[in-house]
Structure 1
Amino acid sequence: MVKSFQGVRVVEPKTRIQPILVKDHMSTKLVTFRPEHTIDQVMEELTKKRISGAPVVDASGALVGIISEVDCLKEIIKGKYTNTVRFPAKVEELMTKDVITLSPDISLFDAAQKFLDYQIRRFPVLKDGKLVGQISLSDVIRAFPTLKHTTW
């Protein structure tokens, strides 16, 4: 018969795991558009900044919509039928007005689920009704490889 003695064990205090939040991974230096901008201006800026969409804000800075490359395609197709290379439509005519937003204090896992549920590429982030950032599907994907498995 073999007896084993391990001695006194030292129990390490449990460290509190901090939640992984949207505010830690969202973009805060945003390109924004105004409703009166033209699609020409949007396409030029999206191309220059290498982004696929951006929030639309009014004169007071309140979020009123989202404009994306897909919205711009609608004007491009219309241009084919009118035989024009200019895209004078206003952002307010083509933007998505019914915008789904996220709070900066929700977990990145909850945000990931929202991306799956709604099948969209970006969410504006609002705090107390004010636009404070934007989180994209790419931001979420880039965040997870940098996290340690013990923080999940």
Structure 2
Amino acid sequence: MRRVADIMSRDVVSFAPETEILRAVEVLVARGISGAPVVDADGRVLGMLSQKDCLRAAIEGAYHREWGGPVSAVMSRDVKSLPPDLDLLGAARVFAQDPYRRYPVVSDGRLLGMVSRSDVLAGLLASWAE
């Protein structure tokens, strides 16, 4: 059976922790993605920045009449990830149980790629067709 590493996206949008929130929002909107990992210079995952995090920052910024700061100030630090060697049925179980639409694929704390529900469904479909 195929594994997460076989179907993950390797061309991943990610942000450094010091990236300005407004710049990150521009990237998320331009790329049409709902979130991205925040990684350090060594590729270690520090958090996830979601559209929801950005909306919270916008609300807070509107209240204080200033919106900005680094993504590290608003990112979610409790990051759930998937290992690259997890089989697709295992990944499907995770997606079926959790509300997330995509997960970072991480090995030894380092970001390898991203995998989405759609990736897993397409991978399962391809496996069943073989």
The normalised TM-score by structure 2 is 0.88
Q: 1:103 aligns with which of 83, 98, 101?
A: 83
Contact 2:42 2:110 in 1 (8 A): no
Residue identity over aligned pairs, in percent, reads: 40
Contact 2:88 2:124 in 1 (8 A): no
Counterpart CA distance in 2 for 1:120 and 1:150 is: 27
Counterpart CA distance in 1 for 2:15 and 2:127 is: 37
| Mapping 1:71-150, distance limit 5 Å | 71-84=53-66, 87-145=67-125, 147=126, 149=128
Counterpart CA distance in 2 for 1:22 and 1:142 is: 12
Q: 2:10 aligns with which of 28, 31, 40?
A: 28
- The structure whose residues are more often helix, as a share, is 2
Q: Which residue of 2 aligns with 1:9?
A: none
Q: Which residue of 1 aligns with 2:52?
A: 70
Which AA in structure 1 matches 2:32? R
Rate the CA distance shift 1:89–1:137 in 2: closer, same or farther, 3 A. farther
Gaps of 5+ in 1: 1-18
Rate the CA distance shift 1:83–1:105 in 2: closer, same or farther, 3 A. same
Which AA in structure 1 matches 2:100? I
The normalised TM-score by structure 1 is 0.76
Counterpart CA distance in 2 for 1:99 and 1:50 is: 21
Shift of 1:90: 1.6
Counterpart CA distance in 1 for 2:44 and 2:25 is: 22
Q: 2:28 aligns with which of 36, 41, 46?
A: 46
CA RMSD of aligned residues (A): 1.8
Higher relative contact order (CA 8 A, sep 6+): 2
Gaps of 5+ in 2: none
Map Cα deviations across residues 106-139 of structure 1 (whole Å, 9 max, x no partner): 1111112112222112211112332111112232
Which AA in structure 2 matches 1:49? R
Shift of 1:48: 1.2
Rate the CA distance shift 1:141–1:148 in 2: closer, same or farther, 3 A. closer
